[in-house]
Structure 1
């Protein structure tokens, strides 16, 4: 397959816009699924073609996937019909003798535990040991969709190259000043309630990745899949993407408190445990799974392919890039309502 094949990209948001920029820089022909008409012009100005539709427009997605050499899904890890529609399109291509590359976005919520913040786990998942990832519970977050993709992957065999990327905590200022979810939500909570808080006991640990480094990771995965045989790609579907930083949720709250205290937004920088009655101002019933459990991993495969993180560290980015944007936000913050780790 040509290294500059046609690409169908779902999810031109926080992750997707970064990936789109790199694809266009490298000369790929990209078609992007666009929900809102007002977003179409900006994407086309960048150089992407667009088609209008949501993740529930399954015929649109299937037809676009059937027409593309490469499909990248960065929209959400928790929408089951859209990856199945993609795979239906890939099936159509396979029947006509065409191969497809498909990169699906899952997430490290899949490897969380039930620590409740009580401890930092010694369990570290490594993507060059796929059997350890295969051993996680079928009902883990994101896992049902991942398993459905893996079943179709097995049936397609060498007729398609399919990989799953599992990002950890993503941070950084993205395109159009877009921000991620976990640390910005904790920051908005602190501004509203006057203290930096963590869920549970705050001792559990997650890995981190800057969104720009993550996007370069997607491109590394893409180039690997382009250059390797389908048989080789079938050996392991998983790619982690972490930059070597791991922090407890208490440490994250501590750094948020320090930065907001320095900015004059809270009086006391000392982090505190958030009482459950305030979880609605974080992630509701998902607060502890999203910012209270362990999810430790190593991106051994990306590093073996030559990928290296290049961006600011988590807390430098938080203070210099993200908090200044949050401080300009208007309106009453009422928590993050979307099912980020459903």
Structure 2
């Protein structure tokens, strides 16, 4: 099978690309820069030059593929509405090329913010009018237009060693900057987690499956308390751990302060039973302890 992947050179996309190529599939990836193109070529992917704002490029690449995996996203947390609009337009362009083909359109979504007060499940449907939940609802409805939809809901932290610049790296950078590894309130809010290689393996299983599609939870750990995450970061960086009052969260953590105190736990029981998936790679705390999120001191030589 030939898969067209947006975000193929990214943290998750590169792992998914390698997983598919190792299984004998052919991958073409969207590249908007020379660096992205070189990265994709290094692990054997074909390069399609363009960006999420090039609908003709997206349609042509989707038409030439047996399935599409849309993982790219403009992560501007200060203007998420614009980022979401760009994402939606890109998905619509891809869908227009796949309509009536029976091909798979898989998109990256997330478990964060789906429900409050309990872990999210695959049966939960986000009701927010913006962000990626709206695009997920659009994609799942494409089953009625002759497209096999997959929503790959990733845990808020897809961790590993050697290049993750996501939420946990940001938390570590803030801990180094302030000289204290903070958590918000009592630190009982929990974040689901998954190792990126486990997530990539699950993506391949879902793509190759004869199941009709639907929601997939890439969740290896249901929820790691944010206090425990902060303690692990502090122990690794050699800085103390402390509670940050909720009213001071944004001042201390900047933009991530709006999220770090929220409970983003989720299960993956349905996904595991459907695809026979079992995570086998290190946990989030093991990756932190192994140095995956080390941040050098500013005065380090």
Normalising by the smaller structure, the TM-score range is 0.7 to 0.9
The one of 283, 290, 297 equivalent to 2:266 is 297
Give, in angstroms, the shift of residue 205 of structure 1. Answer: 1.4
Match status 1:312 vs 2:289: no
Partner of 2:78: none
* C-alpha distance in 1 between matches for 2:299 and 2:280: 32
Match status 1:137 vs 2:119: no
* C-alpha distance in 1 between matches for 2:128 and 2:156: 22
- Taking only aligned residues, the RMSD between alpha carbons, in angstroms, comes to 2.4
Give the unaligned 5+ runs of structure 1.
Answer: 114-120, 332-342
Deviations 1:73-100 (A, max 9, x none): 1112842211111111112xx2xxx321
The one of 45, 57, 62 equivalent to 2:42 is 45
The one of 130, 139, 149 equivalent to 1:162 is 149
The number of equivalent residue pairs is 287
Deviations 1:106-130 (A, max 9, x none): 01124154xxxxxxx3x22222xx2
**Does the CA-based 8 Å contact 2:160-2:284 persist in structure 1?**
no
* C-alpha distance in 2 between matches for 1:140 and 1:166: 16
Bigger relative CO (Cα 8 Å, ≥ 6 apart):
1
Match status 1:107 vs 2:110: yes
Compute the TM-score of the two structures, normalised by the length of structure 1.
0.77
Partner of 1:334: none
Judged with a 3 Å threshold, the aligned counterparts in structure 2 of structure 1 residues 181 and 42 are, in CA distance, closer, same or farther, namely closer
Q: Secondary structure at the match of 1:9?
A: strand
Partner of 1:150: 140
Compute the TM-score of the two structures, normalised by the length of structure 2.
0.86
Deviations 1:127-171 (A, max 9, x none): 2xx2xx13x3233642221122233x1431xx2211101111324
Match status 1:240 vs 2:217: yes
Partner of 1:75: 72
* C-alpha distance in 1 between matches for 2:298 and 2:69: 31
Give the unaligned 5+ runs of structure 2.
Answer: 75-83
Judged with a 3 Å threshold, the aligned counterparts in structure 2 of structure 1 residues 248 and 30 are, in CA distance, closer, same or farther, namely same
